[in-house]
Amino acid sequence: MLSCEQIPTVGFDYVRIAKESELKPHTHAASETFIYILEGTAIATLDSRNFRVRAGDTIYIPAGVSHGFSTPDEAIAAWGSVQICTNISIQIMQRMQSNS
């Protein structure tokens, strides 16, 4: 995965985790993340709160918010994510507001 330091605009990821696996909680200090669950179900942990997510769900994670995923008793889960560096998203919002 590319970070804001490596490419200071937008990053894209495809993540797939197996049954009974975990992506440990972590943060992205300088980027906001949008996740779309493509397949399966998982437990999303956001700031120490657990949520069951499934195919078709969308998750927004602000910069600096701890998040992780696990598939404790379910099949494989997969998702796509888009990370937007915070300074870029602020610029986009300012442009949108000035155009309206």
In the chain the domains, ranked by start, together with CATH numbers, are 25-99 (2.60.120.10)
Whole-structure pTM over 0.75, yes or no? no
**b/e sequence 25-50, b meaning 16+ C-beta within 10 Å:** eeebebbbbebebeebbbbbbbeeee
Helix (H, G, I), strand (E, B) or coil at 76: coil
Token code pair at residue 44: 């999303």
pLDDT tens across 2-20, in order? 555 555 577 788 988 888 8
Instruction: Say how far residue 42 (Cα) sits from the centre of its chain.
Output: 13
Q: If pLDDT is split at 50, 70 and 90, which confidence band does 43 have?
A: very high
